Structures are given as structure tokens and as C-alpha cells.
Structure 1
């Protein structure tokens, strides 16, 4: 899926904890750059003035509205060619990821997670993660039960070197064996903060791109 002139975009900043969204349109496309009109804050309706180097998660849908896509980009500068425009870094085609409903995009990846019960804390890793919950790999000795409420601390390492810790209440939905090898606890978040969900969505998106790069390099 390529960026085209007139396409409507939603920008979500990845450089701040503020849960903001901006709406804009593509007005010009070059080989390594795409240009947008000045974005408008969806909530306040005010025009945003983006600083050079600011990084964003960019979301858009296909012309028929049947598919959604996401990419990472950053502000490169400004241009005025009859209308004021903002220059954004254009990703390679393989770095544009097709997504499902964003809050439920699930990525198979291993990250560290701590599961705390009333009496014990277990240091484990995930089998997969989404903005709605995780699947944690159990070692077999954990005293965990289905429908049990626990406290999670999830470590999210990002490509730029930043690390974010998501801490949230959660409920164990199911405990099962996968392929007769792994024992898995499927865990659902209980009302996580919007900021934490934003970080998880960003992390899942980055991991999708990493997996796609590995597939292309094989």
C-alpha cells in the first residue's frame, strides 16, 4: 500500500506520554519524503506546529476502506510551494504494515513480564502481546488459577533504546498447554491506562516491522 496525494492520515506522537491525535492529508509525494498539510488536533480542533525530528505513528486506510495500515515517520522540515507543508520521512514499502483493529493487534514476541499475586511474584516472558493482554509462558511451578486477578509489570524495549514499563491490573483468562510443549497463561488487562495502551500499540507495530524485515532478508 502506497501513500497517495489526498490520502487522509492520523498522526499519533511517539515522543510524548500525551495521548494526542492529529488529522492531516498528503499533499505531495517524493521518493524519500511525503508532504502533509498542517495537521489539526482531533480533540481541540487547533492547528499543530510540529517540531523537526518529532516521531509519529501514522495511520491510514485504503481507498475502499476495507484495510488499515500503519507506518513510523518523523518530521524533516517545512516547505511552502503555494501552500505551507510539513516534510515527513517516507518509509520503504516493506515498512508499511497492514493492521487489524489496532487495539487487538497481537504480535508473537518475547519480552520480560512480572506477574504478582497476593503472596508471590513470578518473573516470566511473554509468548505474545497485544493492547488487550498477553500470553505468558509458565515454568510449571506457578500457583496461578483461571479468573485470578494479578498485577502485571511488562518491559517494552523500543528500537530507539527507550524502555517503557507497563504496570496494570489483569485477569488470568485461561491456562493451557500449547503444542504439548509450552504451558501458557492467557491474561487480559483490566482497564489499562490509555498511555500504556498507546505504548503497547507502538511496540507491537515496531515488532511487526522487525519480523517483516527478517522475512525479507531470509
Structure 2
């Protein structure tokens, strides 16, 4: 059963920062339609600080139904609405995606895909991803391409499908974390900061196909 209007939601946010990922926030459903829930801006448990969410952020959500049973589902931010208060639009899950068992793992798969990037100073490079999901990706950076946390990048991702088809996914991303590797390269974690929902669906389709490939092995 879907959560109802005025239902309290408990939220955790996918993040490259482990401390942030374990924080829990509280919100409430203000409205709903066929594809989305509109929720109030989340508030951190314990200190009542509002948490600003960004387009594309992945969320793990739980709620307690009338029988006292806690249910879980994963989703992501699809937009914002300005009403009397600011509301956050999140994707409504399918009924079969709601579980009584917590599944914190987001839909992220290991994949070596070509990613063309352009930095704000118009420097360009082609890189390979390490993993990818509906909210962002990790990518290997060569030393000659200078990258730093908070940097904004324009990106073009080459996405192959099982049927032989190929899509080009365009988006803008923000560097949220950089890990220095022994090889001399950096592993940069990027989150989608601007991406059309149709483009995100291409990424999610690839992830589902790759996950299915893993299960068949």
C-alpha cells in the first residue's frame, strides 16, 4: 500500500560522505499524483535543520502504516514545486518496489563506459566510469585533467544496451568527492545536478540490464 497524504516519511540520502549517508531526516507527504509524491523539505532528526535536496538525489525512504509495519522504498528527486511552502517532487515507486525489508543499496552497477566531459574553463577529456546509478557515477581521471570537489562538469555518456543499441546521455554533474588512487589517477564521484528525466531513464534502463546480467551469471 502506498503512503498517504500527511504520512510521515523517514529519509536517508545517498552520498559519497558516509556520515551524511547515515543521517536520517523526516518529512511529510503534502500531495500525490500518478507518478510522484510531493513532500515537504526534509528536517534532520534531533536538531530540526532543514535539508536542501537537489534534482536527481537518490533517497531511501521508510514509513509506518496503520498496522504499525515499517515499509521501505528507494526513489530520487524529480523536481520542485512552489506552493505556500516549497515542496520536493520525488518519483512514486511501483507497488512491487515497496518492501517490509530495508534495502539501502541503491541501483548502482559497476560499468566501464566512455564519458566525455567539459569543465567550466572549456577543458575537455574522455574518461571511463567505474560505476553508475540513477543519481550519479564514479569516473577515473588522469593526472593531466585537474579536477576538484564542487566543480561543475558538462558530460556526455555513451550507454550500450543488450540489444546492440547505443544511446548518448547528456547531463551536468557536480564533483562531490575525489579519491586518490595508488596508480596516480583519481576516482571522482559525480552526482547529476541537471539531467532530463528521459535521459535519467536511459541510465536506469542500462543499470537494470546490467543487474540482470549479473544475476544470470
Give TM-score, length-normalised by structure 1: 0.51
Whose radius of gyration is greater, 1 or 2? 1
The yes-or-no answer on 1:125 pairing with 2:161 is no
2:142 is aligned to 139
Stretches of structure 1 that go unaligned for 5 or more consecutive residues are: 1-41, 44-57, 68-98
Q: Deviations over 1:73-97 (max 9, x none)?
A: xxxxxxxxxxxxxxxxxxxxxxxxx
Q: What's the C-alpha RMSD, in Å, of the aligned pairs?
A: 2.7
Partner residue, 1:36: none
Partner of 2:112: 110
Q: Secondary structure at the match of 1:203?
A: helix
Distance in 2, matches of 1:124 and 1:166, equals 15
Q: Give 1:55-94 correspondences, 5 Å limit.
A: 60-61=96-97, 65-66=100-101
Match of residue 55 from structure 1: none
- Deviations along 1:161-212, one digit per CA (max 9) or x if unpaired, are 111111111111111124x345201111113111111111111011111122
Runs of 4+ in 1 over 4 A off after TM superposition: none
Match of 1:206 in 2: 209
Distance 1:199 1:100 in 2: 22
Alignment-derived partner of residue 148 in structure 1: 151
The separation in 2 between residues aligned to 1:121 and 1:61, in whole angstroms, is 39
Unpaired segments ≥5 residues, structure 2:
1-33, 36-93
Q: What is the TM-score of this pair, normalised by structure 2? A: 0.52
Distance of aligned partners of 1:111 and 1:172 in 2 relative to their CA distance in 1, 3 Å threshold: same
Q: Distance in 1 between matches of 2:107 and 2:180?
A: 22
| Distance 1:172-1:195 versus aligned 2 partners, 3 A rule | same
- Give me the whole-angstrom Cα distance separating, in 2, the residues matched to 1:144 and 1:186: 11
- The Cα shift of 1:119 comes to 2.4
The 3-state SS of whatever aligns with 2:194 is coil
Cα distance change of structure 1 residues 60 and 158 upon mapping to structure 2, 3 Å threshold = same
Which whole-Å CA distance do the structure 2 matches of 1:100 and 1:208 have between them? 16
Question: How far apart, in 1, do the equivalents of 2:95 and 2:202 lie?
Answer: 15
Distance 2:186 2:108 in 1: 19
Q: CA deviation at 1:100?
A: 5.7
Distance 1:151 1:206 in 2: 25
Residue aligning to 2:189: 186
Cα 1:160–1:190 shift into 2, 3 Å: same
